[in-house]
């Protein structure tokens, strides 16, 4: 059997290569690192987590929690490595990003059916089965080639941002405390309180801080899920207090009351020596980040080991280009996977690579297509991305809104009960899918 060519060793590419190889299909995996790096990447490892180290909620009452469980059922490499290298984060699945990336890299490189080729791919191969998982930072040359190859389906740009990292020992714990919101799970977050006066000064400084130049950047072009904190602040004085700085469910042990505002820090590595500022994606100039973020009392003397960065993301007008298996409608030997398809998020990218690989393997084996129904999270996401009726296509996280309603009432009141039942139905439907 001729090997499948997978371009890109990010989350989607590694998951795709692994799912193909475990089914006995040889893979040639192309990765341009370390020959060529992007402004957002710092490591030679595969599956590098560029932004947050969190894969978000791990609860079945949340759509991304359901998607994770579906991927576990499908033997996902990415979820297996994430579970092995998880760090405490309440009800979320957060990982030691370096341990996680090393594990994925070693597993992929050590598989006898996966051949890794380093170096940039500038054009799609003219023969054979190809999966393009080049990511949201696809190189200019390959982006131009894709644009020229499929001119009627425009590739679009938006901007993504990463949060700063600080050392634990530099956080003033006299001004902070460990807790999770509403005491859910274990006390995994460092909570840094601000009074009304401190918050007002912080907000004003943040709104006036100098941004780093980003070519072509406009506030309206920022994906809402990764909104830079300074852009969010400019939307109103209380926007942050209803967003990443909301104090609800967090009582200061010194006062027994909820503070006016709270900045949360989440562990970024297994040792707990590094923490990231939750929701503080930013593209401020680095000296400005130090000046403004040090106004948070607990971070007055914070040691920043990485400042926030802003980078370009590229995605396709997938409803006009791809089918429900992430295949190009007019050229089905070529598939796309990952954030370039317009799925947003680590888990969603993994899911697209997984589904594309399962379907490609079945096609090569002469089997009928795998029918992932809309009742499953993985199926609903693929069907949304390929839905031609979606006119203004924007990157999107998985959510229960794209999954059909139950059609019957659930015992017990509240959204959590309904969502739990949607997840139960999804997992039952997934168990019937031939993969």
Q: What does each C-alpha distance from 396 to 65, 261, 331, 393 come to in angstroms?
A: 16, 28, 25, 9
Q: Give the separation between CA 292 and CA 294, rounded to whole angstroms.
A: 5
pLDDT band at 225 (very low <50, low <70, confident <90, very high): low
pLDDT at 220 over 90: no
Most confident of 113-127, 143-157, 403-417: 113-127
What pLDDT score does 216 carry?
44
Q: CATH 3.50.50.60 occupies which residues in the chain?
A: 4-158+313-430
Mean pLDDT of 146-171: 83
Residues 305-351: pLDDT tens digits?
888 877 777 889 999 999 999 999 999 999 999 999 999 899 999 99
| Domain 164-307 of CATH type 2.60.40.650 | no
Mean pLDDT of 264-274: 89
How much is the pTM? 0.81
153 touches 319 (CB < 8 A): no
Burial of 134 (0-12, 13-18, 19+ CB in 10 A): buried
Alpha-carbon torsion, ordered 105, 108, 110, 112, to 10 deg: -160
pLDDT at 217 over 50: no
What pLDDT score does 313 carry?
78
Q: Give the separation between CA 410 and CA 418, rounded to whole angstroms.
A: 6
Residues 375-424: pLDDT tens digits?
999 999 999 999 998 877 878 889 998 999 998 888 776 788 999 999 99
pLDDT at 37 over 80: yes
**CATH class of the region 4-158+313-430:** alpha beta
- Tokens 């006036």 found at: 208
Residues 38-73: pLDDT tens digits?
767 778 999 999 878 999 999 999 999 999 999 999
Phi/psi at 123 (nearest 5 deg)? -155, 150
Q: Give the separation between CA 309 and CA 282, rounded to whole angstroms.
A: 6
Please say whether the dihedral angle defined by the alpha carbons of residues 146, 148, 153 and 157, taken in this order, is positive or negative.
positive
pLDDT at 190 over 60: yes
Q: CATH 2.40.30.260 occupies which residues in the chain?
A: 164-307
What pLDDT score does 119 carry?
96
């Amino acid at each position: 059997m001729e090997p499948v060519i997978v371009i890109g060793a990010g989350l989607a590419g590694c998951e795709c290569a692994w799912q193909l190889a475990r089914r006995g299909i040889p893979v040639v995996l192309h990765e341009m690192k370390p020959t060529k790096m992007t402004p957002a990447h710092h490591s030679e490892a595969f599956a590098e987590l560029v932004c947050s180290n969190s894969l978000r909620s791990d609860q079945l009452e949340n759509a991304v929690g359901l998607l994770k469980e579906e991927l576990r059922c499908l033997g996902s490499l990415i979820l297996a490595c994430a579970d092995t290298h998880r760090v405490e984060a309440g009800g979320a699945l957060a990982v030691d990003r370096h341990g996680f990336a090393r594990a994925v890299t070693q597993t992929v490189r050590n598989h006898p059916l996966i051949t890794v080729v380093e170096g940039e791919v500038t054009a799609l191969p003219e023969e054979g089965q190809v999966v393009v998982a080049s990511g949201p930072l696809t190189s200019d040359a390959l982006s131009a080639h894709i644009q020229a190859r499929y001119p009627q389906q425009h590739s679009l740009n938006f901007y993504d941002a990463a949060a700063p990292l600080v050392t634990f020992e530099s956080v003033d714990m006299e001004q902070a405390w460990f807790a999770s919101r509403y005491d859910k799970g274990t006390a995994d977050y460092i909570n840094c309180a601000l009074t009304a006066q401190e918050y007002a000064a912080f907000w004003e400084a943040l709104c006036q801080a100098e941004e780093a130049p980003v070519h072509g950047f406009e506030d309206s072009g920022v994906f809402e899920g990764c909104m830079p904190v300074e852009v969010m602040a400019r939307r109103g004085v209380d926007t942050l207090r209803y967003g990443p700085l909301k104090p609800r469910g967090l009582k200061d042990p010194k006062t027994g009351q909820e503070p006016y505002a709270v900045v949360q820090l989440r562990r970024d590595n297994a040792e707990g020596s590094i923490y990231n500022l939750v929701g503080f994606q930013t593209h401020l100039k680095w000296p400005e980040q130090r000046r403004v973020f040090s106004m948070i009392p607990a971070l007055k003397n914070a040691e920043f080991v990485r400042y926030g960065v802003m980078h370009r993301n590229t995605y396709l007008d997938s409803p006009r280009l791809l089918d429900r298996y992430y295949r190009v409608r007019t050229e089905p030997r070529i598939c796309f996977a990952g954030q370039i398809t317009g799925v947003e998020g680590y888990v969603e990218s993994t899911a697209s690579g997984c589904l594309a690989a399962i379907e490609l393997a079945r096609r090569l084996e002469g089997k009928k297509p795998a029918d992932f129904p809309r009742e499953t999270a993985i199926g609903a996401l693929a069907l949304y991305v390929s839905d031609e009726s979606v006119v203004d296509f924007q990157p999107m996280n998985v959510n229960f809104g794209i999954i059909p309603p139950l059609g019957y009432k659930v015992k017990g009141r509240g959204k959590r009960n309904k969502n739990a039942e949607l997840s139960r139905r999804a997992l039952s439907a997934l168990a019937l899918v031939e993969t």
